[in-house]
A and B are shown apart, each in its own frame.
Chain A
Amino acid sequence: MNKSPSKKEVKISELNSITIRFAGDSGDGIQLVGHQFANATAIAGNDLSTLPDYPSEVRSPAGSLGGVSGFQISFGDESVKTPGTKPNVLIVMNPAALAVNIKNVDKGSVIIANSDAFNQGALEKAGYSSNPLEDGTLANYRVLPVPVNTLTENTLKDSGLTRSQILKCKNFYMLGIMYWMYGLPLEPTVNWIKIKFKKTPELAKANQLVLAAGSAYSEATEMFDARFQIKKSPVAPGNYRNLTGNEAAAYALITAAKLLKRKLFYGSYPITPATEILQTLAKHRANDVVVFQTEDEIAAICASIGASFAGCLAATGTSGPGLSLKTEAMGLAVITELPLVIVNVQRGGPSTGLPTKTEQSDLLQSVYGRHGESPLVVLAASSPADCFTTTLEAARIAVKYMTPVIVLSNAYLSNGSEPFRIPKLKELPKFDVPRLPEPGQFKPYMRNPETLARPWAYAGLKGYEHRIGGLEKSDGDGAVSHDPENHELMSKLRAEKIARVAADIPPTKVYGALEGDLLVVGWGSTFGAITQAVNEARRTGLQVSSAHVKYMNPLPPDLGTVMRRFRKILVPEENFGQFRMMLRAAYALEPIGLNKVQGQALNSDEILVKIKEILRGS
């Protein structure tokens, strides 16, 4: 592609990382190019983190401010832990995309705009009275206007496609430009196009031509005076794949079922941003995966409880409002002591709230949100790839302890992606299924002395016929019992069983010194931002460490000791202090909160500012 000598010396700068944001109308294929770009950077050996950001309306009017779809990616060496705060390069496909995103771009950054889309009508829709590409308002930015529509039409004028078909390819033109700029290979996307448009070879050809043309244009034109080489990330050898958090959770469930040598049953009802788990699993039916799209959230968890009673590894997935609906059935899963994985991909609440935006505000609902004494295990994933590890761990605990386990993910993790190292079979955890006693010795509520798990005798298994249900059962034999002492005993046993999961929790890792002025304690999706902020703070000489919690219930047994070695504790979270409240209750400590409830992820700058504020004030 780049064989011909350039007309002008192009400067190649090497950077540790860069943040790029693609933005355009929701019909412009922004998520698609973003995803392709992410794959290309990953294949080129970069670490990366992505953040898709799209409107909740199915399709806002074309060109309107409400219809702007964005995809941000940060890529580079191992320092990349988040999709970045502000883009260094903003690519806008129309004026609305510029209007929505410009406030988040620092002066001096690069703006690449599809100048053809900046016509009178589109400018008015975006609220511009004159063309910002020409009127000097962007004087402090490096603006690179590219007539993408015209260039795409020129490229495809002999293709035989209609004008509207041709214009649909323009996103690949822009992608080609970006590939050139960052020295990324076109091949992965070319291969993807070939598979995607297998049935329409004329479109496959057109998209390939446009992609190559975009790259060639950048090579030939003199407007781009710089190319960038982004430092690679030193990664462990192995096979990699770029996965979103939702895909990672889906693959973890399949993996867990395989390790357990049982069918996977996934009952679910579509809900943003969890639906992709259901969609991913639906493709794998032939792999001993039973996927049941139910009539509602309640049916989803109930069918999964039934499947668990029938011996499947059962799971259900949802988002906040759906978790509320599943609440009563979770109580049933607790009292019947059946293994069940419940993935809650949190979004902004309450009620419908912000369906496509991220939050961490279902923590208390997950840990406490049921009637009665109803403890279950809650885990939180910290990155898109960690959704795999955490969901797999949830399944392992569910089976070992015969309990429902909630996995907390959120919109930020579920849609974001990062390279995922495909594990070798031998690296995966062991699944201990509680051994069944001989039929003659079997009682439904007899318990493993170590874990307190009851035996998982499932329907269809000869000699273990028994009845379970929502009514309190007597200890051991499992007959319905209203005996007051028995109820208290059973409540204690169920609580003690969950408490014993603590034995499986590894020691809390502290990043930085083991004692000092400040420990930043995080959970879930804030991992990347906290790590980046703490690294930055330590570089400037501040005495700060961080610890990240995955086990939300029960809490890690050493967490109190770890925290007490620091004078101050900061808990950044995307809610009004739910984890902080849990820590206060558990350890009688008074952590400082950094809270954000804007449907946006906390970013490292915000955390860094808070760290500085605390340490300077102390």
Chain B
Amino acid sequence: MENTKLTARDFAPSQPVKWCPGCGDFAILAQVHKTMAAMGLPHEKYVVVSGIGCSSRFPYYVNTYGVHSIHGRAPAVASGIKLSNPELSVWVVTGDGDGLSIGGNHMLHAIRRNIGLKILLFNNRIYAMTKGQASPTTQLGTKTKTTPMGTIDYPFNPARFAIGLDCTFVARGLDTDMALTSRILERAAGHKGTAFVEIFQKCLPFSEKEFDDLKDPQKKDDLTIKVEHGKPLIFGKNRNKGIVFRNFRSEIVEFEAGSIPAEVAVYDETNAEMAYLISGFQAPEFPIPFGVFRASEKPSYEELYYNQVAAVGDTKGNELETLLSGPDAWEVK
């Protein structure tokens, strides 16, 4: 392998990127270019696979191998690629509608198998490409073109969906927080099994105000919490609030800044139960969590598959005629 180090620029497309000006997708795209360069694999080892929707134009904007497939089916296409050639770093880019509505079944089975895909789910809580209908993550009561009286479908919480399925890597990022998104993508890139990353991303034309509070410098510190392995769960403008788990319930405690009480939980990303509790946090009762919720080791699907093959023993060298004959052939002279 040549030792030329690739940069983010090497992954940039030769074609113009066609998203609405100001779309959060641009920032995520830039982070993905950067992450791929940092991963250190040669160009040809990356494949980006998508379904349908704004985010799903992604493969055209990464200078690697890519498949822009059909609505909801990216995890299935990507699974076929990964299982065919486990050496490839396979990335799935999908949206809340694509990945959790029409593609819900494939998403849940990809996670169940722990197949080595990096799944980036851009959550703007709306169908953007079809111009503003309710999606599976549209918040209850939201008025959209298809729900003029407000949605009555309870929304999915994508990160919690993945944690509920025992996904081995689950994180949540925010399009405007580059440092956070960058850290998450870097870790997802190095994860062995399925990495599921939900990224809040606002859609300028159709869900413009969706995450405004989470980005407002005045409000964001009280409305959000960053979880980090081994660090206490504290938040607030003055870093004076913490999360306590009592009797399997989460509670918020306030304290004097600088003196964190012992009862405040120290986050453990290998603890599935803690990840599940955190992922359920809803505003305004609790701060919205960001960061890596879950990171655990489990053999990946492709690893188990090829281990089985290795255990059977290599019969590749067998003559085709021997293979076709099987055990019960007879000869006619």
Contact = CB atoms under 8 A, between A and B. Distances in A.
Interface of A: 39, 42-43, 45, 188, 192, 195, 235-242, 251, 254-255, 258, 263, 265, 267, 284-288, 290, 292, 294-296, 298-300, 302-312, 314, 328-329, 331-332, 336, 422-425, 459-471, 479-480
Interface in B293-333: 305, 308-309, 312-316, 318-321, 323-333
A43 B329 CA distance: 9
A305 B68 CA distance: 12
A467 B67 contact: yes
B81 interface: yes
Given A285-B312, A295-B109, A310 B73 contact: no
A312 B47 CA distance: 15
Nearest to B315: A286
B193 interface: no
B59 A310 contact: no
Sort chain B's interface into a size bin: 35 or more
Contacts of B63: 465
B106 to A, nearest CB: 6
Contacts of B59: 467, 469
A306 B84 contact: yes
B67 A236 contact: no
Contacts of B106: 295, 298-299, 302
B64 interface: yes
B204 interface: no
28 contacts: A43-B330, A188-B328, A236-B332, A240-B332, A241-B328, A265-B80, A285-B308, A286-B313, A286-B315, A287-B323, A295-B109, A296-B105, A299-B73, A299-B105, A302-B80, A302-B106, A303-B76, A305-B69, A306-B81, A308-B80, A311-B84, A328-B70, A459-B44, A460-B45, A467-B65, A468-B67, A470-B52, A470-B69
A306 B313 contact: no
Contact of B329 (A239, A310, A314, A423): A239
Contact of B83 (A286, A290, A466): A290
Nearest to A195: B327
Contacts of B76: 294, 298-300, 302-303, 306
A188 B70 CA distance: 51
A238 to B, nearest CB: 6
A311 B327 CA distance: 31
A334 to B, nearest CB: 12
A254 B59 CA distance: 32
A329 B80 CA distance: 14
Given A328-B70, A468-B67, A241 B326 contact: yes
A388 B63 CA distance: 41
B131 interface: no
Contact of B80 (A254, A295, A304, A425): A304
Given A306-B80, A424-B321, A469-B59, A460 B329 contact: no
B234 to A, nearest CB: 41
A307 B69 contact: no
Contact of A295 (B70, B105, B312): B105
Contact of A237 (B69, B78, B87, B332): B332
Contacts of B324: 241, 251, 255, 422-423
B332 A465 contact: no
A584 to B, nearest CB: 34
Interface in B55-112: 59-60, 63-70, 73, 76-81, 83-85, 87-88, 105-106, 109
Contacts of B69: 302, 305, 332, 469-470
Contacts of B280: none
Contacts of B66: 466-469
Query: Helix, strand, loop or mixed for chain B's interface?
Result: mixed
B15 interface: yes
Contact of B43 (A296, A308, A465): A465
A535 B323 CA distance: 36
A299 B314 CA distance: 28
B292 interface: no
Contacts of A39: 328
B150 interface: no
Interface in B98-136: 105-106, 109
Contacts of B88: 310, 459-460
B318 A287 contact: yes
A115 to B, nearest CB: 33
Nearest to B59: A467
Given A424-B321, A467-B67, A42 B330 contact: yes
Given A240-B329, A242-B328, A285-B308, A306 B78 contact: yes
A618 B15 CA distance: 68
B42 interface: yes
Contacts of B73: 298-299, 302, 329
B34 to A, nearest CB: 18
A422 B321 contact: yes
Given A311-B85, A312-B84, A332-B70, 10 more contacts: A239-B329, A240-B331, A286-B314, A295-B105, A302-B76, A302-B106, A329-B73, A425-B321, A460-B65, A465-B64
B67 A469 contact: yes
Nearest to B45: A460
Contacts of A299: 73, 76, 79, 105-106, 109
A188 B328 CA distance: 8
B329 A309 contact: no
Contacts of B87: 460
B49 interface: yes
B331 A307 contact: no
Contacts of B79: 292, 294, 299, 303, 306
A328 B69 CA distance: 10
A94 B138 CA distance: 62
